[in-house]
Amino acid sequence: MVIYVVQRGDVLWRIADHYNIDIDSIIEANALPNPDVLLVGQSLIIPTDENIYNVRAGDSAWKIAQRHGISVQDLLWENEIMNPNNLYIGQLLTIPEKKKPEIEVNAFTYTLGDMAAPVIGEVGEMLTYLSPFAYLVKEDGSLVPIDDEAAIGEAIAHGIVPVMAIVNFTVNVAGRNAAKNVLNNPDIVNTLQENIINTMKDKGYQGLNIDFEYVLPEDREAYNRFLESTVNRLHDEGFFVSTSLAPKTSADQKGLLYEAHDYLEHGKLADYVVLMTYEWGWRGGQPRAISPINEIEKVLDYAVTVIPRDKILMGFQIYARDWELPFLPGKEAETISVEEAMNRAYAHNAQIQYDYMAQSPFFRYTDDEGNAHEVWFEDARSAQAKFDTAKEYGLKGISYWGLGYPFRQNWVLLEDNFDIKKL
């Protein structure tokens, strides 16, 4: 695939003619609602017969070769380049054919009931695991059930491993209280583990994801003990266990989200971990990239020192946020799909801008009532940046939050970059 950024005056037929492909291929790959409307700064995936790479700012022959798992010599030879320092931005390089890296891909979904099947079916061939979200752990060790049968059935039909997700919090439930009462009481821990095992057997789950957040710092060791005993019990039953971890950059990082998440112990005990590398641009905060690459890399730089790389799934959010300006504390941004973000950009003829440090697109517009807005979302460039990061760090794979937000470009590029492992 080639990623092309729309310039002023571009029209789709000329872009297709330049790359010698038909317009319909571009429309399909990008889910374009109207081929007659393009926005300056919009990124388009261009399907090509060859493996072509578009040189970007900051690239070098060594970086490009490393990203694609080839030697610099092979890259230069393929492109008849004598001097590796003579690359320029926008240059199209042919990448020698190489077997794509194999990764595992998880997706959380809170689209449940009868609505789950079409959402899962649309991308089912590109998932290793599916985690319906989520069973709430109550303070007595019981579980609040969810309507997950359709999701599990659709997952199994596509060769996806269903993973039971448990949480200790909701919008209205303080996670710290449930965690304290459960984790420090052996009898309640035993009850919870029995309920988990019974549910997994009854529903057809093959693994468990533990997403305990807002755990008090003094309960860190209790959480570690709970994880160890749960892993041991579930392994004895033939199940695997994963955990979701807040995005830490050091072992001693302060804050309620971070202190009880012991990367070292989770890396030892869990079969894999999901790093929740998103929500920098959270709905109650200032407008900014939701999952900026420069912040993700800080988390990974620490994580790989204490967790085996082949146990790490990097989190990738596939939703967008629309903030009303000026930002006022207490007023939340609207969470929307990438598709809806682009619809708003089309409606207001917005120019797409790109933050190269965060590797994230954004735009501004004024609504019909005269209110200013700023929207941060994902596009082909930001998705490719995340895939490149997963490759460069040699990670086990990627975990999406969450299914139900249409983002066609992501899935086209995912398939182009990786072979998805089916278990």
DSSP result, 30-96: HT-S-TT---TT-EEEE--SS-EEE--TT--HHHHHHHTT--HHHHHHHTT-S-GGG--TT-EEEPP
CA distance 144 to 69: 46
CA distance 80 to 43: 28
Mark whether 213 is an active-site residue: yes
Antiparallel, parallel or unpaired: β 2-5 and 43-46: antiparallel
CA distance 79 to 94: 6
Q: What is the largest CA-CA distance in the chain?
A: 70
Classify 397 in phi/psi space as left (phi over 0), alpha (psi -120 to 50) or beta: left
| Residue of 50, 78, 149, 213 marked active site | 213
Sort 218 into a burial class: Cβ within 10 Å, 0-12 / 13-18 / 19+: exposed
Query: From the centroid of its chain, how far is CA 69?
Result: 22
Coil/strand/helix, residue 5: strand
Determine the straight-line distance between the first and last CA of the chain, rounded to whole angstroms: 27
As given in the structure block, the two tokens for residue 405 are: 């937000």
Are the beta carbons of 4 and 15 closer than 8 angstroms?
yes
Q: Nearest 10 degrees: CA dihedral of 265, 270, 276, 277?
A: 70
Query: Cβ neighbours of residue 235 under 8 Å, at least 6 residues apart?
Result: 241
CA distance 414 to 276: 19
Q: Which residue has the tokens 């533990």?
A: 210
Are the beta carbons of 39 and 6 closer than 8 angstroms?
yes
Residue length of the chain = 423
| HSE value, Cβ hemisphere, 13 Å, CA-based, for 302 | 18
Q: Which residues are catalytic?
A: 213
